[in-house]
């Protein structure tokens, strides 16, 4: 009888443990969501630490109440005369960066916490290869800038395995 009771308890515990999910949720004392046309407003009361920065059409918010956003490339901040592409993306070892115009460039790779993992200076080349096989699986940012340190583009790289 004790073995049967122990088995029933263990089965119920595994059932409880497997029913948990990892999705962003906010448990606030109050809140709401309104939408009209192209605009949406979501709010909660009770988030202890929040911060919002905005510039023009761009907004960066900090807190628990966040939408799902997957950024694959950031806006081109230069005149658009230079086109940049990275492939294959996602990858598990080698990645190639192709720049439409040869010149002197600085390429940096950052992890998602902003740590600089790699710096590469490129002179008169349009195809640059990187070996990221030693990086952990996750998302990385590649920053391409000109020789005068003007930002050309920032790309998101997904490393698998």
The domain ranges of the chain are 27-69, 84-159
CATH topology of domain 84-159: Immunoglobulin-like (2.60.40)
Say what the pLDDT of residue 118 is: 93
The pLDDT tens digits of the residues spanning 71-99 come to: 555 554 444 567 888 888 888 899 999 98
Residue range 23-27: mean pLDDT, rounded = 58
User: Which value, in Å, is the radius of gyration of the alpha carbons in the chain?
Assistant: 23
Contact status, residue 40 vs residue 47, Cβ threshold 8 Å: no
Say what the pLDDT of residue 46 is: 64
Q: Minimal CA–CA distance to 133: which of 159, 157, 155?
A: 159
3-state secondary structure of 101: coil
pTM of this structure: 0.52
CA distances from 152 to 77, 80, 130 (A): 6, 8, 18
CA distances from 137 to 10, 62, 92, 93, 140 (A): 34, 24, 8, 10, 9
């Amino acid at each position: 009888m004790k073995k049967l009771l122990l088995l029933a308890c263990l089965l119920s515990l595994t059932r409880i443990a497997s029913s948990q999910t990892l999705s962003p949720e906010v448990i606030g004392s109050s809140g709401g969501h309104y939408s009209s046309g192209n605009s949406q407003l979501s709010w909660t009361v009770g988030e202890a630490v929040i911060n919002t920065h905005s510039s023009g059409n761009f907004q960066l918010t900090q807190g628990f109440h966040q939408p799902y956003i997957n950024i694959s490339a950031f806006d081109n901040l230069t005149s658009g005369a230079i086109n940049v592409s990275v492939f294959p993306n996602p990858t598990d070892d080698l990645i190639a960066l192709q720049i439409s115009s040869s010149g002197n460039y600085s390429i940096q790779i950052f992890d998602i916490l902003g740590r600089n993992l790699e710096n590469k200076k490129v002179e008169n080349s349009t195809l640059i290869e990187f070996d990221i096989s030693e990086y952990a699986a996750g998302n990385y940012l590649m920053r391409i800038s000109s020789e005068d340190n003007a930002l050309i583009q920032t790309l998101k790289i997904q490393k698998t395995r």
